[in-house]
Amino acid sequence: MITNGWREICEKDFHANLEHWKKQRRYINRFFIGGIKSRAEKEYYSLLCRNVKDRVVLDYGCGFGHSSFFLIQNGARKCIGIDISRSMIEQAKKQYNHNRILFCQMSCEYLGFPDNKFDLICGKAILHHLDFPKALQEIYRTLKDGGIAIFLEPLGHNPFIKIFRKLTPKARSAAESPLTENDIELCRKYFKLDHKEFLFTLIPFLVLKKFMPKKFFTSFHNFTDYIDRYILGRSKKTYKFFWISLLMLRKEL
């Protein structure tokens, strides 16, 4: 049984060794997924830009602080970035010393903020590191009525992704777990939910990225995107077999 204490220790230990973490990520990006997720990330940041102006924002799992600075650059009134990793927070403070950004070492499962604090809460690849029900409760509690939360997260049902994760265990902490269909449905208990998925048809062919010229792989990627949109249009239930989900959670008035 995974306890919150064990999960927190795993995450702190994993992210304390930054050089190991960066090395593993560089290897995976170089040979497998570099650029593959960029379209989902582009849509994530585009959605943030449309909703950030004059908002008080919580960058949930801020890492090195890049997104926090991006949010301020695009009109956030104030941004608080939190992460469980002390070393990441220390680097974020050094790199992004801005009077409208505050970085804090804090657990995302136990937010030290009052109710109804934030207009916008956002994060990329953070929820699957957490006790998901507990995280949703805290997001709901600290989000203002009418506020929104935007997250970009991996899904865990695709068999090829399951194999990929087993082959690359050192690239992630032992405690993390991609979101499931039940997790997505749990969001509806607290929020009005919209979600959009990315990357399905391309997944079995990721190994081609290592051998195929970039422009040909890009064309192939475009073709698989077209197939993905067609599949989702025919059956919404197939979403759980996609790799990435962009979640927009609105706390209704």
Contact (CB, 8 A) for 67 and 37: no
Query: What is the band of 17 on the pLDDT scale with cuts at 50, 70, 90?
Result: low
Contact (CB, 8 A) for 89 and 104: yes
pLDDT for the residue 16: 62
Instruction: Give the pLDDT confidence of 114-144 residue by residue, as tens digits.
Output: 999 999 999 999 999 999 999 999 999 999 9
pTM of structure: 0.89
* Residue 177: CB atoms within 10 Å: 18
In the structure encoding, which two tokens stand for residue 251, read together?
């706390």
Contact (CB, 8 A) for 104 and 80: yes
In the structure encoding, which two tokens stand for residue 74, read together?
């695009």
CA gap 106, 112 in Å, rounded: 8
CA gap 104, 35 in Å, rounded: 30
* Residue type present at position 243: W
| pLDDT at residue 69 greater than cutoff 90 | yes
Structural domains in the chain, sorted by start: 4-248 (3.40.50.150)
In the structure encoding, which two tokens stand for residue 186, read together?
């749990």
More confident residue, 145 or 212: 145
pLDDT for the residue 164: 80
